[in-house]
Amino acid sequence: MINPAELELLRSTLATLAEGYEDLPSFTPDFDKEAAAEVLQRVAKRMHDNYPYYHPQYAGQMLKPPHAIARIAYAMSLWVNPNNHALDGGRASSALEKECIVDLGRMYGWESPLGHLTGGGTMANLEALWVAGRLHPGKKILASQQAHYTHSRISDVLGIPFSAIDVSTDGRMELAAIEAELKTGDVGTIVATIGNTGLGAVDKLPEILELATRYGARVHADAAYGGYFGLATELGEITRSAYENLRQVDSIVVDPHKHGLQPYGCGCVLFRNADVGRFYKHDSPFTYFSSAELHLGEISLECSRPGASAVALWATQQLFPLEQGGQLSQWLDSGLLAARALWQRLKDSEHYRPLMPPELDIVVYAVNATDALEASSRARRVFELAAKKNLHLAMIELPVDLVRTYLPELEASSDTVTCLRSVLMKPEHIEWLEPIGEILDDCARELTSAARESG
């Protein structure tokens, strides 16, 4: 879990950092080392109560450790603890953040977007929908039923009407349902989810853009989860077309703390038209006295923000440039291939039934059963059995009609079915599919054996 080489690099980096402050009078803040050591040992032991998110046998939620360079850069910057609000709070880190925004914008074909880092995707989406509401006051926000739940909650916070759009059996928004809403004339913005967090589905962006143009609506791309996959080379044709059209949307949210290898929390919001910065304008006599340059606080709803996030992201993007075919691109491809391989293995299994083929690196699968209630019960049992064998999965509750598309013989004894879900976002996952598959098979056999004994 702990690589000693990282600690050596941190010490070396901190020594270089300290050189920049050698002209100051000597000053070392004091603290009670023994008391701190005792507390730190206790908290380290408390942290044992976590799933092993860093390990390839954690194949559950979208959780992965940051890359070593991000960890080290973030930790190093904490000795300065910059605040990327006003420039006098984080001069170097603010400059690094602006460079990061340029690189992220270019990933989507934008040369000069307005944008900044946020505490995560929720705050980034809040800003995007806040701007949407200012541009189309009183008009509705549309998003997929499989979109992140924060869209409906954010809309409620902002006082903007919201409608959830039905999805087809592949997890994408129904285009006919979008158009029916647009025909009312009450829609201001359509949220296209570029990799929904439940199923990994990518909404059909080209068609959504065409509808938005026809009816005069904006398009916001929530690419918090899937935003980096445009760098991948292994995308399917329909999915690739969505990424190729991202340059045409009005705003984009992406979370570097997912596939961008960053620590939590590091989200990002980008606007194609920098003119929307006018909505952020405000006066603050104590914040903006130190420089005539643009302050990140002038284009953000958040005030204090950790400069450490910008330092870590900048260092990571220097080591792994955002380019197709590069190392980051290869790691994304590894996740795509791992998901497809697991999906095929489950399809060939007598114990499991996968749902839609994965577009990204998320695989959703049901446990074979005669009816929905039994399938849900078995899924929960596999979840528990697998954890005892150090394989950690996730669960998802889905409408029974969607699941029956892939298990037509399943009796609809309930409205929903609990399925299993695996996010294969670690590059190492592709090398661990065999042990993962074996544990899944062992769990299913244990279930079958227990059922025979009780029957």
* Residue 384 burial class via C-beta count within 10 angstroms: exposed 0-12, middle 13-18, buried 19 and up: exposed
* pLDDT value for 452: 74
Q: What CA–CA distance (Å, rounded) separates 428 from 335?
A: 9
d(CA 242, CA 230): 9
Instruction: Print burial letters for 136-148: b (CB count within 10 Å at least 16), e (below 16).
Output: beebbbbbbbbbb
pLDDT digit string (tens) for 146-203?
Answer: 999 999 999 999 999 999 999 999 999 999 999 999 999 999 999 999 999 999 999 9
CATH of domain 327-454: 3.90.1150.170
DSSP 153-219: HHHHHHT--EEEEPB-TTSSBPHHHHHHHHTTT-EEEEEEEBS-TTT--B--HHHHHHHHHHHT-EE
Question: ω before 230 within 30° of 0 (cis)?
Answer: no
Q: What are the tens digits of pLDDT across the range 377-407?
A: 999 999 999 999 999 999 999 999 999 999 9
Task: Look at residue 284 in the predicted model and tell me its pLDDT.
Answer: 58
Q: What is the 3-state secondary structure (H, E, C) of 213-275?
A: HHHCCEEEEEECCCCCHHHCCCCCHHHHHHHHCHHHCCEEEECCCCCCCCCCCCEEEEECCHH
Question: Which tokens hold the place of 1?
Answer: 């879990």
Q: Can you tell me the distance from the alpha carbon of 288 to that of 85, in angstroms, rounded to the nearest whole number?
A: 10
Quote the tokens at residue 78: 């904490």
- Give the DSSP letter of residue 438: H
| Residue indicated by tokens 């590069």 | 326
Q: How far apart are CA 281 and CA 288, in angstroms?
A: 12
Beta carbons of 360 and 200 less than 8 angstroms apart: yes
Query: Which stretches of the chain drop beneath a pLDDT of 50?
Result: none
Q: Which of 81, 39, 56 is nearest to 305 (CA)?
A: 81
CA distance 133 to 128: 9
Phi, psi at 76, each rounded to 5°: -55, -45
The Cα-based distances of 44 to 8, 40, 47, 368 in angstroms read 20, 6, 5, 41
Fold of the domain spanning 77-319: Aspartate Aminotransferase; domain 2 (3.40.640)
Q: Domain boundaries in the chain?
A: 77-319, 327-454
Say which residue the tokens 């600690």 belong to. 7
Per-residue tokens: 15: 């020594």
